[in-house]
Amino acid sequence: MKKLLNKLLLTPDFNNLFKSFPYILLICLPILIYLGERSFISYDEGYYALQGKWVLEYNNWLTPQWFDQLQFDRPPLLPVLIAISYKLFGVGHFSAHLPTLISSIVVLYFTYKVHALILGKNFQWLSPLILITTYLWINYTHQATQDIILVSTEMFGIYFLIKSSKDSKNYVYILSTIWLGLCFFIKTYMVAIPIIAISPYLFIYKRFLLKKNYFYVGILIGFIPFILWSIFCFNEYGFTFFEGINNKLISLSKNNTFSQPFYYYLWNFPISFLPWTPFCAYGIHAAVKKLSLKQNYLIIFYPFFIICLLSLFETKIPYYSLQAFPLLSIATSYGLMQFCENLNYKKIKAIKNTNLIILSALFVTLIYILTNKGIFINGNLKFLILLISLLFLILPLFFLNLSSKRSFYIFAFLIGPYLATSLFVQSGLLSDRSPDIKFAINNINNSILNNKFQTVVFIPSSMNGNELSELIKINLYTTQKIIRIADINKLQSEQNIWMKINDINELKDFEVTYKDNRISNWVLVKRK
């Protein structure tokens, strides 16, 4: 057992595909193999998944839409990527999540490479393993959102920016800045956050790049997709799309549904980075004491600036902080290595006692929550999966006594979160977030909807968050293309129409076709 572990824990040669394949599979396993149920949530993945569906239905690859209305608040990159995935693999959850999944694997790769450049090759596989077992990261790997795609582009650029000191080839200079334009094409002005955060590093340690022509060539090449898209949009719609992009930035700075206080990330981030938050804190402490300022800038100060800059916006959402996760995973891996190097009997005993207390508290809380919701009482399998996942977290209690070598201590701390995360993902709890509406719409698809007559929706002038959420899911799960109707009097007699339940009482000539308690705000009706 010890010999096998010792062999596995050696730094793999990722230049040899055959030898490195087991490690690649190990790192990516929690996200590549997925056996749980899937359903869409509304914000933001349901919205993007629906826009990808509309790209195909309206054959509009230029501008995102809301039904038949064009949306100019952002470039269409993610909806187009989802649409391409739909085209290749069919409309469904896997296809919608595929662009994010691929981007997550890209981030894991560059996290591995950046670790080697900052800390050396020793235990460089540790950083991507920490990242992939972090709750928020693996959660959003299984969602159709922009942010992990954005992070993959940022990590690509950071890798080549660091590499530019050792490799003076022109293509490295180009690749060190090409990401700026690509990030702008993903989330427009939000690219300012990583630019501001990395700028001190550039001016202090990479100033020579500013004298390289290819540095600016990279910036120009990176902006080509956005420039081309802008030209096409301007020819088609004039300055309207510029106004939409600017209004999006303004809306993020104003009070809205997602407004939070300035200190939001101070408490949200430690929770989001679980179960590695303690080792992250230890890693930052150890790095400040032992590593150079140049090393610390990338794994401490850059993520810190990211969080601070995000805090300036009125809009604060947990997944915005994902930009800080890869480099903080490197800081965490350093913390874990340093911690395990100095482990002794006293510390091991303290760890065991603390672990048992935390897990006991989590276990009691879990039982209370699930019993309260009727899950435990109904004998739901997901409770058992959650329970087993928590039990995996106590594995360090057994493996810490396996050997006194640092590599075995590291293994002991990794094995629990890795198995817990992998099993938790397979439960479907991370991706099966609205199964009731999915099943309700599937029932409609099979028994009510007639392909001969188009299903329509009558959208009122205002909707609350729950009404909008259900409307997005209705559109996602309905096999037919749903069109919007502005005048209800133009409805054909055989057409089904989705309406808000509150609006039914005002209609005398309509009868209810389908009503389901799982869809609380909308009902399907047609003319008598």
Element (H, E) at 341: helix 325-341
Q: Is residue 463 part of a domain?
A: yes
- pLDDT tens digits along 463-520: 777 888 888 888 888 877 888 877 777 676 677 788 887 777 666 777 787 787 888 8
Examine residue 373 and state whether it is found in any structural domain, yes or no: no
Do 320 and 445 belong together in one domain?
A: no
Whether residues 184 and 326 share a domain: the answer is yes
136 assigned to some structural domain: yes
pTM over 0.95? The answer is no
Residues 333 and 439 in one domain: no
Q: Residue 23: inside a domain, yes or no?
A: no
Mean pLDDT within 354-376: 61
Beta 456-457 vs 483-484: how paired, if at all? parallel
CA distances (Å), origin 505, targets 10, 18, 364, 501, 509: 70, 67, 47, 8, 10
pLDDT above 90 covers what percent of the chain? 14
Same domain, yes or no: 38 and 183: yes
Spatial contact of 96 and 52, defined as CB atoms under 8 Å apart: yes
At 348, is the pLDDT very low, low, confident or very high (cuts 50, 70, 90)?
A: low
Query: Does residue 474 sit within a domain?
Result: yes
Final residue of a domain: which of 281, 314, 337?
337
**Domain membership flag for residue 416:** no
pLDDT at 445 over 60: yes
| Of 337, 357, 386, the domain-final residue | 337
The predicted structure's pLDDT at residue 221: 92
Q: What is the mean pLDDT of residues 187-195?
A: 85
pLDDT recorded at residue 506 = 65
Identify the domain containing residue 487 by its residue range.
435-527
- Both tokens assigned to 419: 């198995």
Asked if residue 193 has pLDDT above 80, the reply is yes
7 within some domain = no
The answer on 53 and 175 residing in a single domain is: yes
pLDDT number for residue 331: 93
Indicate whether 375 pLDDT > 50.
no
Domain final residue pick, 310, 337, 364: 337
Give me the chain's average pLDDT, please.
Answer: 79
Give the C-alpha separation, 345 to 462, whole Å.
Answer: 63
Structurally, the chain folds into a number of domains equal to 2
Please check whether residues 330 and 446 belong to one and the same domain. Answer: no
Question: Which range has highest mean pLDDT (135-139, 242-246, 417-421, 481-485)?
Answer: 135-139
R_g of the chain, CA atoms, integer Å: 25
**Does the CA dihedral 308-313-317-320 come out positive or negative?**
negative
- Which region among 134-148, 317-331, 407-421 has the lowest average model confidence (pLDDT)? 407-421
**Within a domain: 8:** no
Residues 161 and 309 in one domain: yes
Alpha-carbon span 128 to 119, nearest angstrom:
14
